[in-house]
A and B are shown apart, each in its own frame.
Chain A
Amino acid sequence: MPDKNTHPRVGLFVTCLVNTMRPSVGFAAVELLELAGCKVEIPPEQTCCGLPGYNAGDLKDCRRIARQVIRLFEPYDYVVVPSGSCAAMIAHNYHEHVFENEGVWRRRAEALGKRTFELTGFLVDVLGFTLTGLPLDPGELKATYHDSCSCLRRMKVKSQPRKLLRDLCRIEVKEMEQTEECCGFGGSFSLKMPEIAARLGDEKIKRAVSTGADMLIGGDLGCLLHLESRIKAQGNSMKVMHVAEVLTGRAKVPSAGR
């Protein structure tokens, strides 16, 4: 745990979805980390964490990508990722599975994995971030929160984003029923079994809508884009935002994926 007065060097892993679909999440993440006193660097050679191929069974290419990520991010004190699934890939899957039979790389992956965090988990658990008064007009915002399975079960992130939303934006999350249920995204799963993914997404949205919230916040862009596409399909008006965007007062920009 670093001294609060020091400025840890953080390597931001932007993720491929944030890069192409929602750069503002990346900018928001930089802003939050800098506010929290980190020296943020963004290695420009970064691409993807390899999760899509890993899930589909392409372990060979996944290893190449993983080596690339390890080499790029080894110099930093911490690796921070605005996504639970990509964070879990680097923090757990690299050393537990991808390099399970490769001694040297497994050790390197494990060392890096220990320093890899999901954004909100990092801000709360590692930095103890408690800044207040960020520019946001509270009061009118009724929001519910979607926990990604990777955040919940792999990265142990559940209370952290809620705490930040409460402390920074005075947003009290309106919890939906069966809030720990999967939204059906599952990466390549939603391409392979779109009908089932859509059904699971629709059920999630039904529960989100019945909280009376008009915004759905989450920490994983994959889930959020999937849910957004289902919201569009249903002709619903619920807004979908990444937690980093909300925390930095970007709640007024258009919904993710619109």
Chain B
Amino acid sequence: MEKNEKDFLQGASAAMADKQLQANLGRLMMILRTMHASGVGSAANFEELRRCASEVKRHTLEHLDFYLETFEKKVIEKGGKVYYAENCEDLNSIVVEICRRRGARTAVKGKSMVSEETGLNRALEKAGIEVTETDMGEYIVQLAHERPSHLVGPAIHKNKEQIADLFLKNHDLGPRSLDNIPSIVAEGRKVLREKFLRADVGITGANALIAETGSVLLVTNEGNGDLCSTLPNVHIVVAGIEKVVPRLEDAGAILRVLARSITGQAMSCYTSIFTGPREDPEDAGPEEFHVVLLDNHRSEILAGEFRDILRCIRCSSCMNHCPVFGVTGGHAYGSVYVGPMGSVLTPLMEGMREAGDLPDACCGDDRCAEVCPMMIPLPDLLRRLRTRKWDMGIGSRPLKWGLSAYMKTACRPRLFHAASGAAAVLASMLQGGKRWPVSSLKRMHGRRPHLPSPQGKPFFSPLGRKRREL
């Protein structure tokens, strides 16, 4: 897993200056929030559904070893194969090796965050296997050699003209007009259908792994995941180890909150449960069924104070309601997982020194916790990461020293009140036409900082107490 830009602030500045992105992102956020509200509103007892889904996952994580072993046993019983990968490289090597053994040359892929996490496409291409993303948005992003900017709308930073240009340039289909959205989607369908039919291998993620039946649950609205797992002769599922649930009903508990949280639908268009390879030659489906399970720090996260983040079902509600994400978009995060859940997960997977700026990208409005269908206390996890960062001594030093001095002063009332009196006087003086010397404040206000000035003497000063008429 890799971050392309280390500095969130830099990415955020660029995003805020990009008018196209701002307009598209603003529109998408409004649409997704409206859909979310209608989805949550469609169940009078949504709180109960949320509690049930979270409880299922909490229980499963508490017995993750047991349920993984059960799942593995069942998959094998049903004729499939299970592999474990400790890190991204291992997962990529395993998938490449499965393809190599089949002599596969082409692969189609459904949307999979785990494969983004491991950089699977690059590994496959390096091994000479042509891989095509089949989710319409992911396909567009792949053609543009970019990174998805949103979990649900990967290509949302592009408008239809930009997408039409990409298609005209990349598809050798002769002169034609792509001036409306249906014509663009129809061309995507046509081109990708050929890819599906020719592919040797289909790769998908999983929304859940069902232990009791050894099945893989996959949810899409386009149906691309189903074509990936039905048409090619080999189906490879890549999933994090935290995706397992005990029974069919428990997968159901997650389905109950998943689509409602993403698109507001009671159920997405396509929900499929895949179990093993095809046995009946007259049936559709692959001859080989492989599940590759990725750890990549998940077992360490499970052991610590951040276990709750492993309940995440990648619905994107947290980012869709995050004010910071709303102005920066996904690219600013420079990581695969973005928004509040990404700001928790990325530093835990990549290290605080590499991604320690992400937990700061939180204005503390608590909205993410309110909307999370899995009841993950995201603001609290982000704050815990900031505590970890503080204790490790990472981050802006002047800010840390300033805060530390403030906090230590606040432990001593007399000193605190003397200091705040002095600060009020100083602030009033500085306000007289002069500027604050702090660089971050300059950045905030451009060349001319506009800081609030104090009213007069502090409340806790002999003079202040007397001036109650204020």
A residues apposed to B, CB below 8 Å: 14, 16, 18-24, 26-27, 30, 44-48, 50, 52-59, 61-62, 64-65, 68, 97, 149-150, 153-154, 181-182, 184-200, 225, 228-230, 232-233, 250, 253-254, 256-258
Contact = CB atoms under 8 A, between A and B. Distances in A.
A121 B174 CA distance: 68
* Residue of A14, A20, A190 most packed against chain B (CB within 10 A): A20
A229 B452 contact: yes
Contact of B400 (A50, A56, A181, A194): A56
Interface stretch (B137-145, B185-193, B379-387): B379-387
B327 A196 contact: yes
B20 interface: no
Given A194-B441, A195-B444, A14 B460 contact: yes
A56 B459 contact: no
A14 B407 CA distance: 17
Given A23-B458, A57-B388, A149 B403 contact: no
Interface in B396-422: 396, 399-400, 403-404, 406-413, 416-417, 420
Nearest to A199: B327
A186 B407 contact: no
Contacts of B367: 149, 153, 182
B440 interface: yes
B456 interface: yes
Interface of B: 9, 12-13, 16, 323-324, 327-328, 360-367, 370, 380, 383, 386-391, 396, 399-400, 403-404, 406-413, 416-417, 420, 423-424, 427, 440-441, 443-446, 448-460, 464, 467-470
Contacts of A192: 360, 396, 399, 440
A53 B403 contact: yes
A228 B444 CA distance: 13
A256 B388 CA distance: 36
Contact of A153 (B328, B365, B455): B365
14 contacts: A18-B459, A21-B452, A21-B455, A27-B470, A45-B413, A57-B387, A61-B404, A187-B364, A191-B440, A195-B9, A195-B12, A196-B327, A196-B361, A225-B452
Nearest to B360: A192
A26 B413 CA distance: 18
Secondary structure at chain A's binding surface: helix, strand, loop or mixed?
helix
Given A186-B364, A257-B453, 8 more contacts: A23-B457, A23-B470, A64-B411, A188-B399, A193-B361, A195-B16, A200-B323, A228-B452
B376 to A, nearest CB: 15
B446 to A, nearest CB: 7
A83 to B, nearest CB: 13
Contacts of B366: 149-150, 153-154
A225 B444 CA distance: 14
Contact of A19 (B390, B396, B445, B460): B460
A229 B456 contact: no
A123 to B, nearest CB: 19
Contacts of B460: 14, 19, 44
Given A23-B459, A23-B464, A192-B440, A52 B452 contact: no
B323 A184 contact: yes
A16 B455 CA distance: 13
Contacts of B363: 149, 182, 184-186, 189, 196-197, 200
A62 B387 CA distance: 11
Contacts of A200: 323-324, 327, 363
Nearest to A44: B460
* Residue of B328, B403, B450, B455 most packed against chain A (CB within 10 A): B455
A228 B12 CA distance: 23
Nearest to A69: B410
A198 B406 contact: no
B16 A57 contact: no
B458 A57 contact: no
Nearest to B420: A20
Nearest to B404: A58
Nearest to A85: B364
A194 B417 CA distance: 28
B353 to A, nearest CB: 15
Nearest to A194: B444
A62 B408 CA distance: 9
B391 A57 contact: yes
